[in-house]
């Protein structure tokens, strides 16, 4: 199911791990030697700015936490980990230098790794509605919202989980897992309509390589490409225009739709609307909240809807919580509507047989 880089979660820590500490000053080198001596960590000064330290698995947590308590961030640039073969690090080892901060985050995010490896996550779906002139609602699509559980089986806020994953070299794997979860749970739920899948552009190395597993899963499960829309959830990190164009071209060439989230939250969103002409745009929920009581917001939203339509994009208003907000958005001719007023995110109960659910899981696992 995974591409090679995202499928493999590198094991940074071993039964006995060798840390190569690279320190910028003689003072920090001496401090590190003293720290290792006081902690009974076998250490060898390899050269003037490098120390090799042997640490047993049971001591790794104490070693890293003590290291960070002892040093300022600028005193300890990075630590390199290799298995203990007694040799010097090779060129390929040096190429896999791991920042010390990542090691600490990796220890704190052990529950994320366990959740990924034990499939302790799910996708909740929130409906997106079309509303006719008589006020009748029809589900048009469902947005898949990723939920991951900690070691106590509590759902962790997605923003916290992804922030932790980003600092632990796990963002690429977690974002891929979230896309896979949306596809699998959508198929199991047998929902009718389009599927909106969130993705973070900064988690994509190479569109043709990183996205092929998601596309393959969609095809293998018999979901029609035109029924899938990939929603860009973060624009601030996607500064490389060529990468973004590559991502959007991949999706469009495969027959998928593209949506742009949070239009109106900043200039970057409007700029992307003009550059990339998405199939759908979502009005930022901060603009929707209290819209009926704020003439300034009304002016902005009215013009955003017009700009989107002029660029050939359908408009989805999200975060709707009151009938008054909905009435104004209908007046401004938004195309689709989403929010707690109309439907909350839920884990959909599947009516499929256990055999069919297993078949779906096995299909996903069999995709390379």
Same domain, 103 and 118: no
Q: Which residue, of 108, 127, 153, is where some domain finishes?
A: 108
- Whether residue 338 lies inside any domain: the answer is yes
- Whether residue 161 lies inside any domain: the answer is yes
Residue 350, helix vs strand vs coil: coil
**pLDDT score of 34:** 92
Give tens-digit pLDDT for 280-325. 999 989 999 999 999 999 999 999 999 999 999 999 999 999 999 9
Asked whether 144 and 182 are in contact (CB, 8 A), the reply is yes
**What is the signed CA dihedral for 185, 116, 210, 190, rounded to 10 degrees?**
0
Number of domains observed in the structure of the chain: 2
Same domain, 242 and 291: yes
Same domain, 103 and 119: no
Q: Is the pLDDT of residue 214 over 90?
A: no
**How far is the C-alpha of 345 from the C-alpha of 143, rounded, in Å?**
8
**pLDDT score of 201:** 81
Same domain, 133 and 33: no
- Domain extent for 315: 112-365
The domain that holds 82 is classified in CATH as 3.30.70.240
Same domain, 187 and 82: no
Give tens-digit pLDDT for 50-105. 888 888 878 877 888 888 777 776 666 555 554 445 556 565 555 556 666 777 77
H helices within the chain, ranges in order? Answer: 4-7, 26-38, 60-70, 91-94, 100-108, 110-117, 158-166, 171-189, 207-210, 212-220, 241-253, 267-276, 285-288, 295-310, 323-331, 354-365
- Which of the residue ranges 163-172, 232-241, 265-274, 305-314 would you say has the lowest mean pLDDT? 232-241
Q: Which residue, of 56, 78, 108, is where some domain finishes?
A: 108
Q: Is the pLDDT of residue 203 over 80?
A: no
**pLDDT score of 2:** 43
- Which of the residue ranges 3-7, 39-43, 331-335 would you say has the lowest mean pLDDT? 3-7
Give tens-digit pLDDT for 239-264. 577 778 888 888 999 999 999 988 87
- Whether residue 138 lies inside any domain: the answer is yes
The predicted model scores a pTM of 0.81
Residue 24: phi, psi to the nearest 5?
A: -80, -25
Per-residue b or e along 181-206, where b marks 16 or more CB atoms closer than 10 Å to that residue's CB:
bbbbbbbbbebebbbbbbbbbbbbee
Same domain, 119 and 76: no
Same domain, 99 and 186: no
Q: Which residue, of 108, 125, 154, is where some domain finishes?
A: 108
Q: What percent of the chain has pLDDT over 70?
A: 82
- Whether residue 3 lies inside any domain: the answer is no
């Amino acid at each position: 199911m995974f591409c090679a880089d995202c499928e493999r979660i590198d094991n940074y820590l071993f039964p006995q791990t060798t840390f190569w500490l690279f320190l910028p000053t003689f003072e920090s080198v001496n401090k590190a030697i003293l720290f290792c001596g006081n902690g009974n960590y076998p250490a060898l000064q390899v050269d003037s700015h490098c120390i090799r330290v042997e640490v047993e698995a049971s001591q790794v947590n104490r070693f890293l936490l003590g290291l960070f308590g002892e040093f300022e961030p600028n005193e300890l640039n990075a630590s390199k980990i290799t298995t203990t073969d007694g040799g010097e690090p090779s060129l390929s080892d040096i190429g896999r230098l791991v920042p010390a901060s990542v090691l600490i985050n990796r220890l704190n995010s052990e529950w994320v790794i366990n959740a990924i490896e034990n499939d302790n996550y799910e996708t909740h779906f929130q409906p997106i509605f079309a509303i006719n002139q008589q006020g009748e609602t029809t589900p048009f699509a469902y947005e898949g919202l990723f939920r991951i559980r900690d070691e106590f089986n509590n759902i962790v806020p997605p923003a916290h989980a992804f922030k932790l994953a980003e600092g632990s070299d796990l963002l690429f794997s977690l974002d891929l897992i979230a896309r896979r979860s949306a596809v699998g749970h959508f198929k199991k739920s047998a929902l009718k309509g389009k599927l909106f899948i969130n993705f973070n552009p900064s988690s994509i190395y190479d569109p043709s390589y990183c996205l092929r597993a998601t596309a393959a899963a969609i095809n293998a499960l018999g979901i029609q490409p035109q029924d899938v829309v990939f929603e860009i959830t973060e624009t601030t990190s996607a500064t490389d225009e060529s990468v973004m164009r590559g991502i959007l071209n991949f999706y469009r060439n495969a027959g998928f739709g593209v949506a742009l989230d949070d239009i109106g939250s900043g200039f970057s969103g409007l700029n992307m609307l003009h550059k990339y002409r998405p199939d759908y745009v979502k009005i930022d929920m901060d603009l929707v909240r209290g819209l009926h009581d704020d003439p300034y917001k009304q002016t902005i939203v009215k013009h955003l809807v017009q700009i989107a339509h002029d660029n050939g994009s359908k408009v989805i208003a999200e975060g709707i919580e009151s009938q008054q907000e909905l009435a104004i958005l209908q007046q401004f001719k938004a195309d689709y509507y989403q929010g707690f007023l109309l439907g909350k995110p839920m884990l959909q109960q599947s009516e499929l047989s256990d055999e069919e659910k297993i078949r779906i899981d096995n299909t996903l696992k069999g995709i390379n």
